[in-house]
Chains A and B, each alone.
Chain A
Amino acid sequence: MVSEGSAFMKGMMLGGLFCLLLSLLESLSPGQQSSAELHHHHHIKAPSKAVLQKLPENLKLELSQKIGVYCAIMVQPKILTFWASAKDTWSKHCDKAEFYTSESAKVLEAVDLQEKDEWLRVRKALTHAYHHRGDMRWFFIARATTFAIIENLKYLLLDKDPSQPFYIGRAVKSGELEYVEYDGGIALSFEALRQLVEVFQDKQKCPEGGNALWKLSLDKELALCLKYTGVFAENGEDFQGKGLFNSKSVSALISDSRAKNPLHAIESCCSDLAITFKGMSPNQMQVLMYGVYRLRPYGHIFHDSLVFLPPEGSDND
């Protein structure tokens, strides 16, 4: 009895020490800031109407055409229906859409990364995207199970200079680390991606096995690597401060809103210019496609400062 008791106590103490050790390690900041200009604000907003109205007409049009987004869409054979869905819906609005898969499969048309580990896949995909960017200056990476409205992403990024590092999405804090949730999609500027691809080579700062003693989720790993290069996560918001990137489905968000605020459920739910939703079925994505790009009430006009034309060879938008 006594020996069992003491073994138990020893176990408890060891466990306690281990926990303490781990929490200390996590709180250790990677420090080492780059001397380049830093973005210390963590909320990033879409340009207000005032800012845009000051831009001359010809510049607005030029910008609409110039802002190019490269979409890296992550698939796997087991989510083939989502590959098909993304291909038939939102990816058509990317200036360049490239699908990346873990392994090849019949019918699935994507770059075969031949990689089972998701974090390694994301690293490979981002590296590939960087090297095949053409003249794209903005990058968006998400699983095919996320739905993105690229026009709204472009609106958010409109007045941001891609030669500055930007790492934007649904920013969440875990202890000291602020990171962008992968579920809601991750937007990176050219400069952020350039630095990221560079730090991927650094086995100390951004090892393939991960930064901590145990495996972190890939979005946290990504945030740590970027932190080493001095790039910080920022929460994408509309002018009212509503988050634009969502890691839930539209229905889930509306349900939450109805529970919290039954009188103004829709008004207090999601932004009118939301960028991403996650967790919707392929059929629901088709309905969302119709809802975003087609279904509207007649007579309500918006004098937007950008013009995006419908993509060629498509009829569900």
Chain B
Amino acid sequence: MSDLQKSLRIRESLLPPASDVIKRLGPGAVAASYIQLLDAAYDTVEDGDELMAKFINTLQDPGYPPLRKSHHKRKEKEGTYFHPEEAFGERNRRRDTSADELASFITGESCCESAGRGAPGEVGGHQNWKVEGSALINLSHRHLTGEDSRMADELYHKVRILCWVMTGPANLQKKARHVKATWSRHCNLVVFMSSEEDRDFPTVGLGTGEGRDQLYWKTIRAFHYVLKNHGNEADWFLKADDDTFVVVDNLRWVLANHTPEEPVYFGKRFKPYAKQGYMSGGAGYVLSKEALRRFVEGFRTKVCTHTTPVEDLALGQCLEKMGVLAGDSRDTLHRETFHPFVPEHHLTGKFSKSFWYWNYCYYPIVEGPQCCSDLAISFHYVDAELMYLLEYYTYHLRAYGYHHRYQAPLPEGMDKPPDVKKDRPVSEIAGVEAAAVVKGEEKANKTEQAGRDKQASEKNRTHNQTEVSKEKRQ
């Protein structure tokens, strides 16, 4: 075959976005140059996140990154499927929750009462976690100083999220500890997943190794674990890294318009390799209960395999095969909520037009302040210092009396809580908090009962189905 014929064949066989990549070469180019460009653009499927990080940290070339080893299959374990019972049998038995154990990992503080009111200035009272197995269960929703938390409390009870954090023995003190001290406190439950069990932290031991090539193994096992052990305690299951920062309340806002019976998952959507795209691992992604069931089922029936080390892509392909929809997590102004980099980079950085990130994003990239929703859900590559900073920015620092430009619409089926009466005797901030907590719990109980009403859930389902079909048409 002549080179010209080769070039022709290559050009004919490509579909977007790959065909867009080679457009800049023009029809007369040599076949080898097409291949080089394609290899560079779609590069090593292995280190997607790492490569992006590298690009952020180094000068961006006008061209594409150099040729690297292409995607390869794992030779061993091909054809086997994962058996949850085997993996977890004896390992992670539920522990007795003795007073000593509680005290030790709640780091010295006396334990938990529900909805405790702490000293003035303390946010929401004591840290109120209960241990169950290796999970940390939040006994009451954290409150902010001086706020009316009724709506947030309602969402907390309505949209139950289990957060599991991918970590490893070497990172418990360096990274995972800061996740535990900051954003994970806003999850309904949080479980730290490691290759090895650690009873003090606590972490679940997944029985894998560590390293990039183990990521998908860990993910598979972690999801199996949470479904098996906590399937009834949550509606949505979030995966995050130990360098991901998540605003769980905003995740509840997005998810409140869906039900856990929908086969759907959300995250930072990428487009290559899968028809409906897939979600970036580092920016975090969340599965509905139904999506999680199908994921686990996919392994049982061998529809999904675990031969690729690329965790996020492999998960995306598995879910696609199992009929789980890749959801649109953007806000009502089409601004992204899940972010694969730190806020500074999205807000102030400029991505060079030839940077392959442009080809990866499912939705158009916006640079500058409109990159990110006010109700951002996640950021990635967040170091320890930035974790605390973001927690302060999100849950503490505000401009008094400021009327936000973006007024987020209420999720479906939620009413706006009535305004605080003006003649209510309010002499202390603590008083306001207590009253709001009581009212919030009352309202939350009422909503839960209403939610279990068959009519309400059916109404949601039909509405969501129209949303789903709208998605498909897009």
Contacts and interface: CB of A to CB of B under 8 A. Distances in A.
Given A254-B385, A303-B419, A272 B398 contact: yes
B120 A240 contact: yes
A251 B383 CA distance: 12
Contacts, number: 185
Interface stretch (A29-37, A165-173, A201-209, A287-295): A287-295
A298 interface: yes
Contact of B247 (A270, A297, A308): A297
Contacts of B389: 250-251, 254
A68 to B, nearest CB: 15
27 contacts: A93-B399, A149-B399, A151-B401, A151-B402, A152-B399, A152-B400, A254-B388, A266-B182, A266-B388, A267-B121, A268-B121, A270-B392, A272-B144, A290-B347, A291-B394, A294-B406, A298-B155, A298-B253, A298-B375, A299-B252, A300-B249, A301-B148, A302-B398, A308-B399, A308-B400, A315-B368, A315-B370
A270 B397 CA distance: 8
A92 interface: no
Contacts of A300: 144, 147-149, 151-152, 249
Interface stretch (A4-12, A212-220, A257-265): A257-265
B155 A286 contact: no
A57 B397 contact: no
Contact of B385 (A251, A288, A317): A251
B370 A299 contact: no
Contact of B397 (A240, A274, A309, A310): A274
Interface residues on A, range: 35 or more
Given A295-B374, A298-B249, 20 more contacts: A50-B427, A154-B400, A266-B123, A266-B391, A267-B121, A270-B392, A272-B144, A287-B343, A287-B347, A293-B402, A297-B247, A297-B395, A298-B152, A299-B249, A300-B147, A306-B400, A307-B401, A310-B403, A315-B369, A317-B405
Q: What 6 A-B pairs have minimum CB-CB distances, sorted nearest first?
A: A291-B393, A299-B152, A297-B249, A306-B401, A316-B369, A298-B253
Contacts of B122: 264, 267
A293 B389 CA distance: 15
B151 A299 contact: yes
A116 interface: no
Contacts of B450: none
A265 B343 CA distance: 21
A157 to B, nearest CB: 11
Interface of B: 107-109, 120-123, 144-155, 181-182, 186, 247-250, 252-253, 343-344, 347-348, 368-370, 372, 374-376, 385, 388-406, 408, 417, 419-420, 422, 426-427, 429, 432
A284 interface: yes
Nearest to A305: B401
Contacts of B375: 296, 298
A69 interface: no
Given A290-B343, A303-B148, A263 B400 contact: no
A152 B402 CA distance: 9
Contact of B393 (A151, A155, A295): A295
A249 to B, nearest CB: 10
Contacts of A155: 400-401
Interface of A: 49-50, 53, 57, 64, 93, 149, 151-152, 154-155, 239-240, 242, 250-251, 254-255, 258, 263-270, 272-274, 283-284, 286-288, 290-310, 315-317
Given A291-B394, A303-B419, A298 B250 contact: yes
A112 B153 CA distance: 54
A254 B249 CA distance: 23
Contacts of A258: 388
A315 B374 CA distance: 11
B246 to A, nearest CB: 11
- The residue among B248, B253, B376, B393 with the most chain A CB atoms within 10 A of its own CB is B393
A302 B393 contact: no
A155 B398 CA distance: 12
Given A50-B427, A296-B374, A301-B148, A290 B369 contact: yes
